[in-house]
Structure 1
Amino acid sequence: MSNFGQDWQRPPTQGVSEKLQGLVKKEKPLKPRVESTIRGLNRPISKLDSTSKQLSKKEQKLFNKIVQAKQNGNIKAAKVLATELVQMRKTGSMIGNMKLSVEKTQLRLSTVNAVGDVIVSMQPAVSTMKAVVPAMNKIMPQASAELESMGNLLGDMMPGSIGSDNSFADSEMSSQETDSILQEAAAIAETQIGDKFPTVPNDSVNVRTFVDSLTGS
């Protein structure tokens, strides 16, 4: 089993054939890649939040126009504006869901980053505890048993530790899952969120129901 600490803080090593053929692109260690992606997601989150607030203001203004048109007896204008409001609200809902998805991805990456740091920092302590147990057993058997129990507990929680084959997570699988999250985050971060709103498909049934409820027809 590969050492999680090495994968976390240093880039993966390449085989001889890979180095000769240049098939594998040199990669940075996993930790800075995760941290860089977390920071990179702040921009789309901020943009989506700003767009959502702008839409909310426009929705309120448009709704006020619908109320005014209805008060003036201009049913045709009220229907047109109401149809536009429905589409605007669909767009707002879409943007809100996009923002939640990006924030979810960022949160998952933050969790990966925190857990990775904890595992790496604990590995030396686990090794030290296991090395001390034999000597402690001769002097203080009871304390030695407690140390051994704690060492086994920590070892079971950490990939690549001496404690158990059934560890908390296999380092190779963790790296694959992290790479999957990074790819998902990269796809979101690279998406250009322009000034124009995304195209929303028409839903004539819901539009008609909403318009009729406003105009009383």
Structure 2
Amino acid sequence: MSKFVEKWETKGTPSLGTRVKETIRPPGPLKPRLDAAIRSIQLQIQKLEIANQRFQERDRMMFSKVVDAYSRHDMDHAKIYANELAEIRKMSKMLMQAKMALEQIAMRLSTVTELGDIVVTLAPAMGVIKSVKAGISTLLPEAEKEFGDISTTLSSILIDAGQSAGLSLNFETANEDAMKILNEAAAIAEQKVREKFPELPTGVATGEKTGF
């Protein structure tokens, strides 16, 4: 069995020195830990979808209020409702962007087969997780700890994989890759917002700015 396969899947029988080190910071085989991280990310994707469905329902209710006020020529209330609607859509877009970014990360992590791939894939993944955590912490405070746990797990895997493969991390490239993932997710989220949500009546304008 190759050294990679041993590090990737099997536990083996550790020496006394290894057992002492693992007591301090237990690494474990990389693949089970990576699979566990992917499952955690997928769970967060499901939670983001559920949260976004709630915002979409709020959007429908608020949009009805805008239309009703507009039809009664009550522009003051129409604009108030429209501003509230803009905030709802901004938050919904952030949730969509976070969900799509995490889907990209989960997909990339699920295709990892080599130690070198782990280093190249995990580095930008951690950047995305950090951005998503910061972006939705006010919307879903309960998710902050869960994203923190995912980051800790990925960081541990990244360190062990880098040491095993003898690879160093290019932070500049990792950050660029993370930004590409986030920008792609933002573009798709913007398109989905336009497709899912009806436009406001003419004359009811809002200032809307979204994204992480």
Kindly tell me: are residues 59 and 90 of structure 1, through their superposed partners in 2, closer, same or farther at Cα, counting changes over 3 Å?
Answer: same
Query: Which stretches in structure 1 are left out of the alignment for 5+ residues?
Result: 117-170, 197-209
CA distance in 2, matches of 1:71, 1:79: 13
1:180 partner amino acid: A
1:173 partner amino acid: G
Partner of 1:37: 37
CA distance in 1, matches of 2:13, 2:128: 24
The Cα RMSD (Å) is 4.0
Q: Residues 47-73 of structure 1, C-alpha deviation per residue, up to 9 Å, x if partnerless? A: 100111111111111111111001112
Is the 2:70–2:201 contact (alpha carbons within 8 Å) kept by the matching residues of 1? Answer: no
Partner SS state of residue 10, structure 1: coil
Q: How far is 1:12 from its partner?
A: 10
Q: How far is 1:98 from its partner?
A: 0.3
Q: How far is 1:42 from its partner?
A: 2.4
Matched, 1:3 2:3: yes
Partner of 2:98: 98
Partner of 2:46: 46
Query: Which stretches in structure 2 are left out of the alignment for 5+ residues?
Result: 144-198, 206-212
Structure with bigger gyration radius = 1
Q: How far is 1:3 from its partner?
A: 2.7
Partner of 2:148: none
Is the 1:11–1:29 contact (alpha carbons within 8 Å) kept by the matching residues of 2? Answer: yes
Matched, 1:213 2:208: no
Moved more, 23-32 or 42-51: 23-32
Give me the identity figure in percent. Answer: 23
1:48 partner amino acid: L
CA distance in 2, matches of 1:12, 1:214: 70
Q: Residues 89-147 of structure 1, C-alpha deviation per residue, up to 9 Å, x if partnerless? A: 111111100000111111111111xxx3xxxxxxxxxxxxxxxxxxxxxxxxxxxxxxx
Kindly tell me: are residues 64 and 179 of structure 1, through their superposed partners in 2, closer, same or farther at Cα, counting changes over 3 Å?
Answer: closer
Is the 2:45–2:102 contact (alpha carbons within 8 Å) kept by the matching residues of 1? Answer: yes
TM-score (norm: length of structure 2): 0.54
Partner of 2:117: 174
Partner of 1:62: 62
CA distance in 2, matches of 1:35, 1:90: 32
Partner of 1:88: 88
1:32 partner amino acid: P
CA distance in 1, matches of 2:8, 2:142: 38
Q: Residues 20-71 of structure 1, C-alpha deviation per residue, up to 9 Å, x if partnerless? A: 8889723010110111111112221111001111111111111111110011
TM-score (norm: length of structure 1): 0.53
Is the 2:41–2:106 contact (alpha carbons within 8 Å) kept by the matching residues of 1? Answer: yes
Partner of 2:190: none
